[in-house]
Structure 1
Amino acid sequence: MELIMASSLTGFRELVGELGGDGDALLRDSGIRPEDSGRTDVFVSLRSAVNAAERAASATGAADFGRQLALRQTMDVLGPVGVAARTAATVAEVFRIFDKFVAAYSPGIAIDVRSGFVDWTLRLDPLPAHPQTVELSLGLILGVLRRFLGADYAPAEIHIPHRRLTSEADYRRYYGCALRDEAAESGFRIDPADLARPVHRDALAHHYLTGYLDESLAGREVSAVRSVADIVGRMLPSGVVTVEFIAQHFGMHPKALQRRLAAEGTTFAAVVDGVRRVTAERYLRDTEMSLLHLSRHLGYAEQGVLTRACRRWFGATPLAYRRTLREEI
């Protein structure tokens, strides 16, 4: 049930367009609203984001799509985690901040720094093929290294778990170092002396930002209800809100998803019904949307289903409830 900040898709639509593809269509087909891409206040399915990157490479014929996309991103895509990293005392501490707080960006990603190696891991089960996501992420890490160590900095070696997608010369030109493909891990081998190099530190900002992230993540678990409700809300207008379809977004068996929801005291049907209720109330109160349009927006086949639902939720027809809401304003 892993999500990722939608800022991870910064530059996606523009790059796909420049390569002759339709970025909006690729995002929609992956279950992501195009207008959400690039936002730090919205989270999307991590599996869907991975799928979008892999499909974009195939659709555009750009084997180096992940590397190209990384050139359009900075550590700002990490949101508050990226801001906190700027306050570190050394390059190694930058990555320790990433390691400790990356869950605020995506709980499905792990970044580890050890003696002479910075490691990146995607935590999805089952794990999909994700070479573009690997190369995008390593390109972003390279950008972080060059931010603190200079624009010409080159690691000692890059490791990727898949077979190289283009020539070794391409990788050397991009990353500035030797390539080890089909490796056991994803990451960079780095001189320990480079990791120990000091960077400008704002001690006060460091204290407040890491404290904020500590509080944000303290005891936090990814809520199945919240994650499902988020995806359901986006998919309602399509009418595709079956447990099978939503489970597929999270790479889970439908029964496993139902068990997760049951552990939080609810069911898939109850989550869908709750999302529809909240959405209906908001549109009845705040807009002049027609009832036919609202019915379709909620994924109902006909307006009569909306009428029956409103009687159950609010004890009144949609129009009567809209009048009541307006009188309360």
Structure 2
Amino acid sequence: MAWSTSRRPRWPGCCFRRGADVRADLVPVPRVLLSRLAAIGVDVERVLRQAGLLPSRFQEARVHLTTREFMALCHAVEALGGGRDLGLRIGAEARSHHFDIATAAALHAPNLGEALKKLARYKRLVCPEEVTVEVVGTEARFSFHWLLAEGPLPMFLVDGTFASTLALARLGTGKHLVPRRVELARRRADVELLTRHFGCPIRFDASLDLLVFDARALDEPFLTHNADLLSVLVPGLEAALKEQLGQRTLVDDARTALRRRMSGERPSVEKLARELHLSPRTLQRRLEEEGTTYQALLDEVRHQSARQLLVSTDLDASEVAFLLGYEELNSFTRAFQGWEGTTPLRWRGAERDRASH
């Protein structure tokens, strides 16, 4: 596929939102998504009613929802879609002409590693979602976080995101790549379905949702590589990103770094400072200038993570305490009572009772 460098290609949903920061609450949803749902038998009108969205909002090719509205839509699809594999199907069937600008840039990268790097770098220009790719030993770990979402993410969204990322890797390489494993921050369910789709072991009750590739796969070349197209796209993306990053605060970066570390360790202020390329003293001073402290941020992230793990997984309280970096269950229990006014297990029971009614 050849692109002329004399003009900028018009990708659906492609926009360089000057002045938009990472907290801008705009989630682009293509109208074709509703058409695809309807084509596989989903009652779209009922889904929209359940989500509290008016059908008239979807007259344009692409509508922007708030994060709350988008999550309500995903939850409604999950509840009324009529198929446990719906997220997998929607994610795997995505077509290149429906890609957002970040995924389009990724598709035309020279190899899988560069593709995931571009996806992680530019996704924040599309919506308030942060993508992370970390190489740990022989593994490349892909994860994502919705910055403004409240509560556990819909399984439909998690499955769809991982399925679309794997589909991107397979489309780009022209190979049937198989991940090392998938880790899901939810209780065990649909094992055969997920194993059949991803072709790898599935781990449940994880602290984070992770799609894990063999690190060697990052060197796999992309057949869809297009240097001419990237030479047109990247300068505009970088300019928009530079402006956006100039508005991002240290608190944003610290909160994100802490959230990534909720997996069995207590990120010390020294570790956090090192990751943010600051001295511990400078980090603490700058956080205070922005109206918070390291401990306040750590408590905030632990609180959010505790709620998600208790609702979505079958981990007992001691396992949740370990993942959040507490040395003793009693310390976690006291902290949780301070947040919610009750013990972790009583809170979990109440939430499950509420969800069942």
TM-score over 0.5 (shorter chain): yes
Cα 1:14–1:99 shift into 2, 3 Å = closer
Q: Which of the numbers 99, 106, 127 marks the counterpart of 1:85?
A: 106
Q: Which of the numbers 194, 197, 201 marks the counterpart of 1:174?
A: 197
Within a 5 Å distance, the mapping from 1:1-329 to structure 2 comes to 2-7=25-30, 10-16=32-38, 18-19=40-41, 21-34=42-55, 41-107=62-128, 109-115=129-135, 116-166=140-190, 168-200=191-223, 201-220=225-244
Cα 1:159–1:70 shift into 2, 3 Å = same
Q: Secondary structure at the match of 2:144?
A: strand
Distance in structure 2 (CA, Å) of the matches to 1:187 and 1:40: 31
2:301 match = none
Cα 1:44–1:54 shift into 2, 3 Å = same
Query: How much has 1:186 moved relative to structure 2?
Result: 1.6
Query: How much has 1:78 moved relative to structure 2?
Result: 3.5
Query: How much has 1:128 moved relative to structure 2?
Result: 3.9
Query: How much has 1:97 moved relative to structure 2?
Result: 0.7
Counterpart amino acid of 2:92? L
Q: Secondary structure at the match of 2:243?
A: coil
Q: CA RMSD in A?
A: 2.7
Whether the 8 Å contact between 2:179 and 2:211 is mirrored in structure 1 is yes
Cα 1:88–1:60 shift into 2, 3 Å = closer
Cα 1:203–1:111 shift into 2, 3 Å = same
Distance in structure 2 (CA, Å) of the matches to 1:92 and 1:39: 34
2:318 match = none
Cα deviation code 1:92-138 (max 9, x no counterpart): 1111111111022212x121112121222222353344221111111
- Unaligned 5+ segments in structure 1 are 224-329
Whether the 8 Å contact between 2:107 and 2:172 is mirrored in structure 1 is no
Whether the 8 Å contact between 2:48 and 2:76 is mirrored in structure 1 is no
Cα deviation code 1:23-73 (max 9, x no counterpart): 133225424454665966532122222222222222243223211222332
CA radius of gyration, larger in: 1
Distance in structure 1 (CA, Å) of the matches to 2:58 and 2:173: 29
Cα 1:129–1:216 shift into 2, 3 Å = closer
Cα 1:86–1:17 shift into 2, 3 Å = closer
Identity of aligned residues (%): 18
Query: How much has 1:15 moved relative to structure 2?
Result: 2.4
Distance in structure 1 (CA, Å) of the matches to 2:201 and 2:174: 19
Counterpart amino acid of 2:180? A
- Unaligned 5+ segments in structure 2 are 1-23, 248-357
Cα 1:41–1:14 shift into 2, 3 Å = closer
Cα 1:79–1:14 shift into 2, 3 Å = closer
Whether the 8 Å contact between 1:158 and 1:189 is mirrored in structure 2 is yes
Query: How much has 1:141 moved relative to structure 2?
Result: 0.7
Query: How much has 1:197 moved relative to structure 2?
Result: 1.8
TM-score (norm 1): 0.59
Cα 1:67–1:189 shift into 2, 3 Å = same
Whether the 8 Å contact between 2:141 and 2:211 is mirrored in structure 1 is yes
Number of aligned residue pairs: give it: 218
Cα 1:31–1:97 shift into 2, 3 Å = farther
Higher relative contact order (CA 8 A, sep 6+): 2
Cα deviation code 1:141-196 (max 9, x no counterpart): 11111112335221111111112441x22111111111011212222211111112
Distance in structure 1 (CA, Å) of the matches to 2:241 and 2:234: 10
TM-score (norm 2): 0.54
Whether the 8 Å contact between 1:85 and 1:94 is mirrored in structure 2 is yes
